[in-house]
Structure formats: C-alpha cells, structure tokens
Amino acid sequence: MQNAYEYVSSAKLPTRFGEFRIHGFVEASGQEHVALTYGAWSEDDTVSIRIHSECLTGDALFSTRCDCGFQLERALQNMVKQGSGVLLYLRQEGRGIGLLNKIRAYELQDAGMDTVEANEHLGFDADLRDYSICKTMLDTLNVKHVELMTNNPKKLKALKNMGIDVVARKPIDHGITDDNIRYITTKRDKLGHAFDPHLLKGD
C-alpha cells in the first residue's frame, strides 16, 4: 500500500433512518474505517459532517454511561433532515485505548475515578485519538468545506491543521442522562468539550 490510508469500496446502506452509502477505508497498519454519506454536494458546498469514534458499548450495546450512541443517532438524523451529510466512523475505541482497556477504565470509574483519571491510571493519555485519516476520507468524498457536528475542540483544531475549511461548529448535545452526567461534566471540565449549561441538569 503506497499511501498511509487508502479508499477500498462503496455500497448502499439502508438503515432505519434512511438510505446511506457506506465507504470503506484502510490504514497501512490494516485498521479499517468507514464513512456514511447521505445526499449529494459539489466541492463548493458546505457539508455537515460528524467525526465519530467507535464505541461498541454505546453505539451497539445501548449503554447510557456515555453519550456516544445518542450522538451517533442524532448525527444520522441530522444528515437525513438536512438532505445531505457525512459521518466519518473511526475505529478507535475508548478514545484510542481499545475495548478491553475501556472496560478496565469502566471498573475504575465504578470505584470512584472519572473517565480521565481512569485512563491515566491505566498508563494512557486522556485522549489518544488520531484524526489524520479524516483528510483522506473527506478528499475522497469531495468535501472541502464543513460544518462540524461536535462538542470537542480537538476535532476542530485537527481539521483546520489539515487544511480543511471548517465553516462552523454545530453542537450535538444529546443523550444526557443520570448515568452519564459525571462523564459529560468531566469532558467539559477536563477536556474542554462545549455543552449547553442548561442541559447539564445534574451539574
């Protein structure tokens, strides 16, 4: 493989939200990622996008101890409502520490640590995610100007550093529950995530 990241293939993906297209990408390491697209655009258009890191427990197993599954669902709903959009689904579980280490971190959180303390106790940085593949994915999908659905300033900075024109940030506050209120306030207070303070009813 000559490039660090490579496009593989695309296909239709009907879902309960609407019919998307799924596009496969692979890193030189063999790690696989996908993008979901809805609708069409030209390279001059501003496209609403979501960069979503894999969360098996939240996305597939319906966990409410994080807001990941809620945000994934809302992003797909927004794409359909707006008539177009892109979801970049990156395979970097647990902010990059992997699924089993995330479960170890959950055990530490059950004992009283917050999400940042638990990752650091296990010997990891609070957030190990890498967004460099997003440039290849967006270029392949002919997306040059984006409205980014996120609360995370690191994603904004990463895209801008790659030369992607971030026209606006759209908050994606959704799925705040009694089970995840501490997790969300920790993301706000320690990782700089932006949340509507009126939604943090448990704060």
Q: Which domains does the chain have, with CATH numbers?
A: 5-92+129-194 (3.40.50.10990), 93-128 (no CATH)
- Per-residue pLDDT tens over the stretch 97-140: 999 999 999 999 999 999 999 999 999 998 999 999 999 999 99
What average pLDDT score do residues 75-79 get? Answer: 97
User: How far, in Å, CA of 109 to CA of 91, rounded?
Assistant: 23
The answer on whether 52 is annotated among ligand-binding residues is: yes
- Range of 4-8, 86-90, 91-95, 161-165 with top mean pLDDT: 86-90
> Sorting pLDDT into bands at 50, 70 and 90, what band is 197?
low
**Alpha-carbon distances of 108 from 69, 102, 103, 116, 120, rounded to whole Å:** 22, 10, 9, 11, 11
> Sorting pLDDT into bands at 50, 70 and 90, what band is 176?
confident
The answer on whether 134 is annotated among ligand-binding residues is: no
pLDDT confidence of residue 5? 84
The answer on whether 68 is annotated among ligand-binding residues is: yes
The answer on whether 82 is annotated among ligand-binding residues is: no
End-to-end CA distance of the chain: 49
What average pLDDT score do residues 87-92 get? Answer: 97
pLDDT confidence of residue 86? 98
Which of these, 88, 89, 87, 83, lies nearest to 40 by C-alpha position? 83
User: How far, in Å, CA of 29 to CA of 84, rounded?
Assistant: 31
The tokens 């801008």 sit on which residue?
160
* Active site (catalytic) residues: 127, 129
CA 39 to chain centre: 20
* Eight-class DSSP state of 197: G
